[in-house]
């Protein structure tokens, strides 16, 4: 399973294209969810990702921790999927800079995965979308019943 996720990550293309980022405003709705986010105290991109979630009506419980790997281990986040923050909403674990639209889509899905992950720290993704930032293509992967699949792909945004 971990090898399959590592293979997916290795195959991700990076376009390096530049674009405006109203893409992350799409899919806003009135659905409100409570999500707990564990992050390093000093991580600015994690704080920006939290702002992205709040703009999509997530009620965020911001939890800075000294040992983030302990949280990742507790929720069995595969090594190849790890990023700079981990979150939990309902039974769904969210790893990295996953767009709010993807999280809400997973929560509404009849086949809700156990985990959504945007491995690494893709430039241009929510929280990594500072003005002038490169807009790299990236995929969000789902883990369900031990199987990894591509949940969504974000390119040319």
Neighbours of 94 (CB within 10 A): 28
Residue 105: per-residue pLDDT: 94
Residue 9's Cβ-count burial label (10 Å; 0-12, 13-18, 19+) is middle
Query: Which tokens sit at 62?
Result: 């911001």
Q: What is the pTM of this model?
A: 0.83
With beta carbons less than 8 A apart as the criterion, state whether 12 and 152 touch: no
The Cα–Cα gap between 93 and 156 comes to: 27
132 contacts: CB under 8 Å, gap ≥ 6: none
Residue 109: per-residue pLDDT: 94
Residue 20: per-residue pLDDT: 36
82 contacts: CB under 8 Å, gap ≥ 6: 72, 95, 96, 117, 119
Per-10-residue mean pLDDT for the chain, 157 residues long? Answer: 44 34 69 94 92 95 97 96 96 97 95 96 93 93 96 91
């Amino acid at each position: 399973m971990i090898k399959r996720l590592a293979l997916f990550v290795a195959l991700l293309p990076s376009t390096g294209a530049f674009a405006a980022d109203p893409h992350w405003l799409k899919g806003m709705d009135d659905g409100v969810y409570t999500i707990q986010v564990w992050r390093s105290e000093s991580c600015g991109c994690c704080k920006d990702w939290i702002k992205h979630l709040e703009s999509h009506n997530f009620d965020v419980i911001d939890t800075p921790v000294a040992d983030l790997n302990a949280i990742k281990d507790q929720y069995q986040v595969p090594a190849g999927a790890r990023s700079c923050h981990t979150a939990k909403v309902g039974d769904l674990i969210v790893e990295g800079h996953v767009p709010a639209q993807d999280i809400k889509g997973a929560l509404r899905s009849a086949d809700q995965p156990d985990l959504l992950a945007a491995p690494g720290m893709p430039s241009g993704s929510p929280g990594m979308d500072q003005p002038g930032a490169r807009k790299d293509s990236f995929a969000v992967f789902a883990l369900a019943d031990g199987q990894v699949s591509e949940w969504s792909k974000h390119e040319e945004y």
